Amino acid sequence: MNASIITIGDEILIGQIVDTNSAWIAQELEKIGVKVLEMRSISDNKIHISNTLDCVSDKVELVIITGGLGPTSDDITKSTLCEYFGGEMIRNKNIEEHIIKLSHLRGLAMLERNLQQADVPNNCEVLFNDNGTAPGMWFEKNNTVFVSLPGVPFEMKQIMSKHVLPLIKSRFKLTAIYHRTLLTRGYFESVLADKLIDFEAELNKRVKLAYLPSPECIKLRLSSQGDKYSEIKNLVDLEADKLYSLLEQSIYGEGDEKLTQAIAKLLIAKNMTIATAESCSGGTLASLITADAGCSKYFYGSIVAYSNEIKRDILNVEEEKINKYGAVSQQVAEAMAKNVQKLYNSSFGIATTGIAGPEGGSALKPIGTVWIAVADNQDVIAKKYVFSQLRDINIIRTSYTALEMLRNFILTKK
């Protein structure tokens, strides 16, 4: 079954809000075997809406529409759909009662504008909205289903989960889809692609491989579809096993797992703790770690040392070392990692020092030069990187690379 997702609203076309509904809907449809062929964002305009429905209904069996169902004058989706499908508006008593109850609960005056939310086309199936006043609507025309939902994310999600997805599953025979997403760290995309040339050549024709790079990792997504779920699951699992053999510990997790969470698991299992000393990453490394709930179990804290004096006075890096080798050097990175481990009395210390830019670069140490070190109370390792010309990229790459080095260091400590 193929689908199209349409978002209606001028605020999206002027970039005022980012459309996150479509991605969520696509994920949910994909899980039940519905393939999204296309997403569109269009304006609150009658002709534009009708033309778009004409255009997509030839191509897909399911159209999910969000937005434009509010009580204000620029919301014209409902009346446009009513006319498009040749129906008439009638007041729905259930919805009317629900609206009166909601207004009462919220202590609001009962406006006719709000009661009109209970008017629905008489040729649709009403999908009740527990969390708001605008109901969802299910229309059918020439073998295509059109579902209209409110744009408010939590209202849309509730109607999708409670009504739309179950209805689709019960009324249509769907193709099975199976995915696995392996999260890798340690290879550049081109190097990884080279390493996987043979793998790709031998990849089962029914399984697709996609590379999805981000500053955090490169995701390798294996997917397949067919009639039998168990069969495609087997195919994908076999290929995933091969990737694990090829890439070994470069795969740190699967699905939505974060690199910080993969590290958290290792630390908790070993009852170990970390602290960070950050120069060029400036607190971003700590903020990635503290984004995870429960991090106080293994994270003690960080010292952001943005000047040589602080590196000397708080992190106890010898002034001589800074003067001799410079703040961006193997020696200073190692001292920072060792000293923060001691200072916080943690199992591991992680340090970053580099030239984030846009100023401070030199011929020998250009912008983007970063030293990262990881230490425990016995060993220390340090590595030099040259990332980019851009400050934000250098900061985020430094932070994720420090996490990668920490993970590898922990793994050597088995």
Which residues in 372-411 contact its own copies (CB under 8 A)?
A: 386-393, 395
Give the rounded distance of the alpha carbon of 360 from its chain centre: 34
Shortest CB 370 distance to its own copies, Å: 12
- 354, 328 contact by CB (below 8 A): yes
* Three-class DSSP category at 51: helix
The smaller minimum CB distance to its own copies, of residues 70 and 186, is found at: 70
Q: Cα(197)–Cα(60) distance, rounded to whole angstroms?
A: 35
The smaller minimum CB distance to its own copies, of residues 148 and 352, is found at: 352
Shortest CB 41 distance to its own copies, Å: 4
The smaller minimum CB distance to its own copies, of residues 264 and 356, is found at: 356
Interface with its own copies (CB under 8 A), residue from 38, 54, 88, 319? 38
Give the rounded distance of the alpha carbon of 99 from its chain centre: 34
Residues 148-177 that bind its own copies (CB under 8 A): 154
- 218, 192 contact by CB (below 8 A): yes
Q: Cα(404)–Cα(378) distance, rounded to whole angstroms?
A: 20
Residues 341-370 that bind its own copies (CB under 8 A): 343-345, 356-359, 366, 368
Question: Which of 96, 56, 47, 52 is closest to 76 using CA atoms?
Answer: 47
Interface with its own copies (CB under 8 A), residue from 289, 335, 374, 382? 289
The smaller minimum CB distance to its own copies, of residues 166 and 358, is found at: 358
The smaller minimum CB distance to its own copies, of residues 82 and 277, is found at: 277
Q: Cα(72)–Cα(390) distance, rounded to whole angstroms?
A: 44
* Three-class DSSP category at 67: coil
Residues 113-132 that bind its own copies (CB under 8 A): 113-114, 130-131
Shortest CB 138 distance to its own copies, Å: 21
Residues 83-112 that bind its own copies (CB under 8 A): 105-109, 111
Interface with its own copies (CB under 8 A), residue from 1, 32, 41, 226? 41
Interface with its own copies (CB under 8 A), residue from 118, 217, 251, 286? 286
Task: Enter the tokens of residue 341.
Answer: 């481990």
Residues 186-215 that bind its own copies (CB under 8 A): 188-191, 193-194, 200, 210-213
Q: Cα(125)–Cα(139) distance, rounded to whole angstroms?
A: 7
Question: Which of 217, 293, 287, 223 is closest to 258 using CA atoms?
Answer: 217
The smaller minimum CB distance to its own copies, of residues 111 and 238, is found at: 111
The smaller minimum CB distance to its own copies, of residues 237 and 313, is found at: 313
22 sits near its own copies (criterion: CB under 8 A): yes
The amino acid present at 229, given as its one-letter code, is Y
- Helices 46-57, 77-84: inter-axial angle, 10-degree rounding: 50
The smaller minimum CB distance to its own copies, of residues 201 and 269, is found at: 201
Shortest CB 326 distance to its own copies, Å: 15
Q: Residues 50-69: x/- map of binding to its own copies (CB under 8 A)?
A: -----x--------------
Shortest CB 266 distance to its own copies, Å: 18
Q: Cα(115)–Cα(97) distance, rounded to whole angstroms?
A: 9
Q: Cα(1)–Cα(115) distance, rounded to whole angstroms?
A: 36
8-16, 142-150, 168-176, 235-243 -> range binding its own copies (CB under 8 A)? 8-16
Q: Residues 241-280: x/- map of binding to its own copies (CB under 8 A)?
A: -----------------------------------x-x--
Shortest CB 410 distance to its own copies, Å: 19
Cis peptide before 358 (omega within 30 of 0): yes
Q: How many residues in total does the chain contain?
A: 414
The smaller minimum CB distance to its own copies, of residues 140 and 292, is found at: 292
Please tell me the count of residues contacting its own copies according to CB under 8 A. 105
Residues 214-243 that bind its own copies (CB under 8 A): 219, 221
Q: Residues 295-334: x/- map of binding to its own copies (CB under 8 A)?
A: xx--xxxxxxxxx-xx---x--------------------
* Three-class DSSP category at 165: helix
Question: Which of 46, 38, 45, 8 is closest to 151 using CA atoms?
Answer: 8
The pairing of strands 274-278 and 348-354 is parallel
Q: Cα(177)–Cα(81) distance, rounded to whole angstroms?
A: 32
The smaller minimum CB distance to its own copies, of residues 125 and 381, is found at: 381
- 120, 137 contact by CB (below 8 A): yes
Q: Cα(38)–Cα(331) distance, rounded to whole angstroms?
A: 53
- 258, 181 contact by CB (below 8 A): no
